[in-house]
Amino acid sequence: MNIGLYFGSFNPIHHGHLHVARQTLQQQNLDEVWFVVSPQNPFKENSELAPEQHRLQMARLACEEEKKFGVCDIEFNLPRPSYTIDTILALSEKHPEYTFQLIIGEDNLPAFDRWKKFDDLLTLVGLIVYPRTHVTPAIPSSLESFTDRIYFLRGELIEISATEIRNKVYHGESISGLTPPVVTDYITKNGLYR
C-alpha cells in the first residue's frame, strides 16, 4: 500500500486538514492518508496545545466517516520532541510492506533543510507539497537533487487555521463550518481552548 503521512498537532483538526487529505488521495494515487498526531513538534511551543489524547480523539472522530483516512499515534511512544525521520524509520520497521509519502504545506518547504537528516528522509519518502498561495513555490537549492521526489498539489485553498478556531472558542464564538460537527461537540463537551 502507498500511504500519505500528514503530520501535525491537529490542535484541533479542521476542514482544511481534511480537504488537503482528500486532494492528496485524488491527485497522488494513494491508498490511504494517515493523520500522524504529534504530541510535541520540535518547532512549536507547547503552551497552546490541548492534551495529546484529546487531539488524537478529535482526529479519530473527524476521520470516522472517511474509509481511506487513518489516524496514527506512533509518536506517542517515541522520544520527544518528535522528529519526522525517526517516525518514518519506526513506521517502515512496523510496516515494511508499505511505501510512505510525506505531506507538508508549502510554507514548510523553504526550511525543509533544517529538518533532522532531511536528505536521508527524502531517500525514504516522496514529498507532497500542498499550496498555501496560488503561486507554485521554488524548490530550495538544498533540495535540487531531490526534485524527482517532490510533487506539488493543485487545487482550491481553504483558509482555515487552528489558531483562528482556538481564538473563536476562547471568545465564545461559533466554529460551525470550520470543524466537523463531531469535533465541535467534543471541544464543547471537554471544555477545550477555554
Q: pLDDT value at position 44? A: 60
| Separation of alpha carbons 188 and 68, rounded Å | 27
pTM of the complete model: 0.94
Which residues, 6+ apart, have CB-to-CB distance to 51 below 8 Å? none
CA distances from 175 to 22, 165, 170, 180 (A): 21, 6, 11, 10
pLDDT digit string (tens) for 29-65? 899 999 999 997 656 655 679 999 999 999 999 999 9
Q: Is the pLDDT of residue 81 over 90?
A: no
- CATH number assigned to the domain with residue range 2-158, chosen from the 4 options 3.40.50.410, 3.30.300.20, 3.40.50.620, 3.40.50.720: 3.40.50.620
List, for residues 136-165, the tens digit of each pLDDT value: 788 999 999 999 999 999 888 788 999 999
* pLDDT above 80 for 69: yes
- Predicted local distance difference test score (pLDDT) of residue 179: 98
pLDDT at 41: 65
